[in-house]
Structure 1
Amino acid sequence: MSSYHERSSSWTFLTHHARVLLEIARDPEVRLRDIATSIGITERAVQGIVTDLHEAGYLARERVGRRNRYSLNLDQSFRYPTEAKLPVRLLIEMFTQHDLSQDQSLESH
């Protein structure tokens, strides 16, 4: 039988959809290949997630040369009924604020 640590390490609180959205929030011109590498899934999976997010109204794509630039609809509500009255902005701000505080702590050392 596996230990609790081995079993508990296979899940996280954030879905891949949330992680892709956060990566795009951090860098609106990020390449899908870089998102895939960053979160540990295939580029094809990221493409599917970006399509899901686009179709659900969470992001828009604009072609700039050979690349895409993404913009987020931060007022779009979460999909799950218990959070449906809350904007996705809360998630984005929570994690991008975390990124900013990490950057500031690195600069102060």
Structure 2
Amino acid sequence: MRLKDVASLVGITERAVQAIVKDLVDAQILEKSKDGRRNQYIIQAEQKLRHTLEANHSISELLRLGK
């Protein structure tokens, strides 16, 4: 899915999605790699959540809640 598609789906601008993705890459929650001219992002599911109240929980735990 392209960032443009995510923006449309969520109802925010593509620029806002780019800023959010950059923040998540900088926080090592997403890993960025190149696939030709496109970027691919991989969720680092074992990373801990950033907020101090949730810091003892991982991204994978959060993702399991959505199932």
TM, length-normalised to structure 1: 0.58
CA distance in 2, matches of 1:85, 1:45: 28
Is 1:83 equivalent to 2:49 in the alignment? no
Q: Spell out the pairing of 1:13-92 with structure 2 (5 A cutoff).
A: 30-92=1-63
- RMSD value over aligned CA atoms? 0.9
Work out the percentage of aligned pairs sharing the same amino acid.
Answer: 42
Deviation of residue 90 (structure 1)? Answer: 1.2
Q: Return the TM-score normalized by structure 2.
A: 0.92
More moved, 62-71 vs 45-54: 62-71
Distance 2:64 2:4 in 1: 24
Q: How big is each residue's C-alpha offset from its partner over 1:44-99, in whole Å with a ceiling of 9 and x where there is no partner?
A: 0000000000000101111111211111111111111111010011111222x2xx
More helix by share: 1
- Give the structure, 1 or 2, with the largest relative contact order (CA under 8 Å, sep 6 or more): 1
Which residue identity does 1:71 align to in structure 2?
I
SS of 2:53's equivalent in the other structure is helix
Q: Which runs of 4+ in 1 moved over 6 A?
A: none
Where is the strand percentage greater, Structure 1 or Structure 2?
2
User: Which runs of 5 or more structure 2 residues have no equivalent in the other structure?
Assistant: none
Aligned length: 67
